[in-house]
Structure 1
Amino acid sequence: MLGAVFIQSCEQAKEVNNNKVNIEQGEHPNITKLKQQSAEFTPDIIKLNENVYVAVGYDGSNASMVIGDEGVVIVDALRALGAAENVAGKFREISDKPVKAVVYTHGHADHTGGATAFIGESKDVKVIAREGFKEELQENSPVEAILKIRNGRQFGRGLKAEDVINRGVGPGITSSDRVGEGYIKPNTTFQGELKINLAGIDFELYAADGETNDELFVWIPGFETLFTGDNYYKSFPNLYAIRGSQYRDVKSWGESIQKMASFPVAYLVPGHTRPLSGKDEVHENLTNYSDAILSVFDQTIDAMNKGYSLQQTVDSVRLSDDLIHQPNLQEFYGSVPWGVRSIYLHYVGWFDGNPSNLNPLSGSEEARRIIELAGGEQAMYKQLNDAIATGDYQWGLQLADYLMQTDYQKQSVINSKITLLRALASQQINAPARNYYLSYAYELENSSKG
């Protein structure tokens, strides 16, 4: 078994080496695709049907208005109060009925920060969420300090506007006008499911673990409309956030999408990206989404049970040919390898079963020995420059990390790492990865100047 694994790993390594791209070849096709994804975030108030309107592109997520005989219901409330006030004004031009309820699909700040803008002068407004709402968020973590830094890198918050293409599921620039200042704490929570009449409309709310453990989806049978929250958007899902997050239950996520697909949905409203219309299109999108998620989960578990190491498992998992080219499964936001790593570590922890990894050398000692094996610092430095010249950027990045454990050509090595980070960014279809590479490059550049 181990021999077969080794052969497979070697074949995959060859495939990786064949995918080198030189920085001088012009814009990478992945960057072109990521730029095209920005069309999803063109600011617009989209009329789905006579009763449902969706605001897209005004902030990092969507907000929706559902019009009933007795008033309106708001589903999700954006991140910044300023953006929410803008959208609320546009909604009131369509209907000036009072807001009877606000439904939060989950606790992420980009869906909750502008609620007061929508409520206005309305009285006795229900604010509905699942039990356990916001419990897993960054601000409740003992490592909030580093999560905040990583969050900034993932979303490119410290980058110049011209360096950010988009955020994968949101525009490159989002509102910073009174971020979170419109948040209102829920006054109505539920477990499992809640069937409730709001503004004269029958709503069905279902607990649906996925991107968060407080996620829900909203089904309005009378309007054949379903709001997915962040369990669906037009990108391969972010099964693991590189900013750092608790485990996202991948199996439950896929099953939540399967449940959504069981309803006769004619209008689908994602938490991000533009809505979908038409029962066939909606069903196809939900079905391929759940198939992709569950395929990654099943393949990962299968590889683990075969005794694969973490990296061998990552190398072995891929989407099938009928899924990998689907427009709603491109890796603009989530990444198959990141999801695989998250599943693997969730089930077995940091130890991958290889005894060599029980008590590894320290980083500095490993670097010293690898440099010595390469023929010394000068020889490795030459290999680093060769990697840059030939477009072997990931290998170059790893070589730079070894040399940074020493004082050899320190500033030059840092400069090389900056070059490599930017080169890797120039190839990314995944917006968080691109933003993270660029953010880290800027941090290195600024620290070396200091």
Structure 2
Amino acid sequence: MRSRSNFAIKLFAVLLLLVTACNRQQSETEINEADAQELTIEKSGTFMGKPYELVEFPNGAWANKTLQTDYKMFKVPLSSNFIKKEVAKIADGIYTINGLFASYIPVIETKNGVIIYDSGTSPEIGRQILKMLETVTEKPVIAVIYSHSHYIFGSSAIKEKYPNAQFIANPRLASNLASGQGAGSVFPEIGPLLNSGLVQQFHMMLPREGKDAPFGGFISFPDFSGFVRPTTEVTEGQVLNIDGVDLQFFTNFNVDSDDQLLVWIPSKKIVLNNAFWGFMPNMYSLRGSNFRDPENITQALFKIRDLGTEIMLSTHGTPIVGKQAVKETVETYADFYNFVKDQTLRAMLLGRAPQDLGKFLKLPQHFRDAEYLCETYGPLETFAEPIYHHGRGWFDNDAANIFKLTREDEARNLIKAMGGPDRVVQLSDQAIKEGDQMWALKLINYLYVTEPTNQTYRTKKAQLLYQLGMVLESQNARSWCITQAYALTNKLALPRLVLPDEIVNNMNPTTLLTQYKVRIDPEKAGTTNYLLAFAVGDGKKVGLHCRFGVVEFIDDVEKYGQAPNATLTMSQTSLVDLFMNRKPVGQILSEQGNAVKGDRKEVENFLSYFDEIFSPQVNQAIPVVKK
């Protein structure tokens, strides 16, 4: 059973420390800045046969000129954090606080106080919310409603000033934070892999200024110190009366997390929501988060319509006022979700393979014209394939693909068929001249896969990725491309796994060992049948029982039907060191306070069967090349 301890609640919020963890990874792998290579692109030219023009934003970032206008709904330059800093009056007693971060804070004034929807990303943002709120009302904050688990970390500042304020949330919110599911992984064991994706998705390892900086408002991670646990958890359809105002809560809609709260205020015909964004929604996140079900999200949008909403206040989208305007907006937005889903299913029925789907989707013009469906966040081309996999799995119905070659074997065979590495380089260079940079990238990637430390291949791949990232409109894909281009040209070390100290140091033994057990190497373990008990601190003894290459976590060794082969008594710090592969196993066992009851050599041998995934030599998404 997965632990949901109070300590572990820090797991999501302290992703703020991801950058620190990546910086430490760089020092461990000793990147030599003298070996770094420059990446170049002309400010105007053609890419994939289409002309582009790059412009410079106020922070020095170069990006496609279209991005000056494509965030149409916000009516402000991207460099201003998407939203103008102001308190906007929507109607009598209805406001939004804008521009403090890449989101809106809806405000509902009641007779004796105010209700706000979310609290920002840090205590400082919370204080700024209060300061801006004071420009329109002197009433106290009596309730904070958490839209979902992403923008709730300014609450400590609000609670400090208004200790009697109510904090309302979906009942899944606290448990999601406790299980470390903030990155959206289906399995907690691969959370560090998704954390690395978060780093790459949001420009975290790239400069904050200069041509490679984010082209708009920087998306950072929240400061956990500002989180206040919910005082009230509501259920689907529940109605609460707050200072004479009825609010109805809907909890079953999953947009970018499954802990959403959609709120209906019938007396004011207002909906508070996170289902409508002011740009094309990210139906799939490149970091690999949970499946975002278009059917469920469209149900949320239709709920907003069917309630008769006259004012729609959204976490990311600008306020929409007027029943007809709300209806038309949410229907178009829902139609976009359904278009992507239905056309994906249509393509499947027509026999299209997963890799064909991105090019199959052709948006009708009315979607292209909608100011809130600009393709500036996630790339449309990536949305269909996850629907295919969710619907029928990986198999594309072609019997030739039931059994697959490894990437390396496929690349070697193709390189041989094309006439060898030099010929592949020539073909890649020729593709660039012909304006087919994507084919050039694919070709050079075959060479990279077979020889990832070859700097010639790395540099050519990096240059293509860099140019691709620069001309893209999608800020997510841009960051992935440029970050990996940096790693390929020795500007940074890119870890495959990221797990900051502040997270792992607060994971209890159950959490640590249930995630550690998946690292067993069955070839090393062979026919081993061995139970190792762990006594950590004052807690109960837990254990790992390896049976022929499969490990079972034992929640209580004393109640288990088999006596342990050995018992390892150790500190929490030592268990974390083992988990993070910070020290050799023998050194950990020898440290003061740690003891082995049983054969020490057997224990050390048993622990050697587990992969050291966090060691600097292993934990490299792109191999570090040292001269």
**Residue 385 and residue 409 in structure 1: after superposition, are their counterparts in 2 closer, same or farther (change >3 A)?**
farther
Amino acid at match of 2:346: D
1:10 counterpart residue number: none
Which string of whole-angstrom CA distances, capped at 9 and with x for unpartnered residues, describes residues 121-173 of structure 1?
A: 3233321122222524228722121111110111111121233444xxxx523
Amino acid at match of 2:307: F
> Helix, strand or coil for the counterpart of 1:159?
coil
> Helix, strand or coil for the counterpart of 2:205?
coil
Taking the aligned partners of 1:243 and 1:43, their CA distance within structure 2 comes to 30
- Residue 370 of structure 1 deviates from its aligned partner by 0.8
Superposition pairs for residues 96-175 of structure 1, below 5 Å? 96-108=138-150, 111-133=151-173, 135=176, 136-138=181-183, 141-162=188-209, 163-166=212-215, 171-174=216-219
- Confirm whether residue 334 of structure 1 aligns to residue 378 of structure 2: yes
1:83 counterpart residue number: 125
Taking the aligned partners of 2:295 and 2:414, their CA distance within structure 1 comes to 40
- Confirm whether residue 316 of structure 1 aligns to residue 360 of structure 2: yes
- Residue 275 of structure 1 deviates from its aligned partner by 2.2
- Normalized per residue, the structure richer in helix is 1
Contact 1:155 1:432 in 2 (8 A): yes
> Helix, strand or coil for the counterpart of 1:161?
coil
2:104 counterpart residue number: 62
Please point out which of 225, 231, 234 is paired with 2:278: 234
> Helix, strand or coil for the counterpart of 1:219?
strand
TM-score scaled by length of structure 2: 0.63
**Residue 396 and residue 156 in structure 1: after superposition, are their counterparts in 2 closer, same or farther (change >3 A)?**
same
Which string of whole-angstrom CA distances, capped at 9 and with x for unpartnered residues, describes residues 54-107 of structure 1?
A: 122212332222211121111011112222222221113322322221111112
**Residue 77 and residue 21 in structure 1: after superposition, are their counterparts in 2 closer, same or farther (change >3 A)?**
farther
Please point out which of 247, 254, 273 is paired with 1:209: 254
- Residue 391 of structure 1 deviates from its aligned partner by 3.3
Which string of whole-angstrom CA distances, capped at 9 and with x for unpartnered residues, describes residues 203-229 of structure 1?
A: 222222333222221222333322222
- Confirm whether residue 26 of structure 1 aligns to residue 34 of structure 2: no
Contact 2:53 2:64 in 1 (8 A): no
> Helix, strand or coil for the counterpart of 2:386?
helix
Which string of whole-angstrom CA distances, capped at 9 and with x for unpartnered residues, describes residues 240-274 of structure 1?
A: 11122111111111121111122333322221143
**Residue 407 and residue 307 in structure 1: after superposition, are their counterparts in 2 closer, same or farther (change >3 A)?**
closer
**Residue 449 and residue 350 in structure 1: after superposition, are their counterparts in 2 closer, same or farther (change >3 A)?**
same
Taking the aligned partners of 1:328 and 1:174, their CA distance within structure 2 comes to 19
Contact 2:119 2:129 in 1 (8 A): no
Higher Cα Rg, which structure? 2
Contact 2:171 2:233 in 1 (8 A): yes
Taking the aligned partners of 1:411 and 1:357, their CA distance within structure 2 comes to 32
Which has the higher mean CA deviation after the structures are superposed, 189-198 or 283-292? 189-198
- Residue 20 of structure 1 deviates from its aligned partner by 1.5
**Residue 412 and residue 114 in structure 1: after superposition, are their counterparts in 2 closer, same or farther (change >3 A)?**
same
Contact 1:331 1:429 in 2 (8 A): yes
Which string of whole-angstrom CA distances, capped at 9 and with x for unpartnered residues, describes residues 306-344 of structure 1?
A: 433212333323332322321111211233332211211
Superposition pairs for residues 319-398 of structure 1, below 5 Å? 319-398=363-442
**Residue 284 and residue 30 in structure 1: after superposition, are their counterparts in 2 closer, same or farther (change >3 A)?**
farther
Contact 2:118 2:144 in 1 (8 A): yes
Taking the aligned partners of 2:53 and 2:161, their CA distance within structure 1 comes to 54
Taking the aligned partners of 1:370 and 1:279, their CA distance within structure 2 comes to 58
Amino acid at match of 1:218: V
TM-score scaled by length of structure 1: 0.86
Taking the aligned partners of 1:391 and 1:56, their CA distance within structure 2 comes to 43
> Helix, strand or coil for the counterpart of 1:143?
helix
Taking the aligned partners of 1:236 and 1:417, their CA distance within structure 2 comes to 29
**Residue 80 and residue 173 in structure 1: after superposition, are their counterparts in 2 closer, same or farther (change >3 A)?**
same
Amino acid at match of 1:425: G
**Residue 122 and residue 352 in structure 1: after superposition, are their counterparts in 2 closer, same or farther (change >3 A)?**
same
2:591 counterpart residue number: none
Contact 1:71 1:99 in 2 (8 A): yes
> Helix, strand or coil for the counterpart of 1:63?
strand
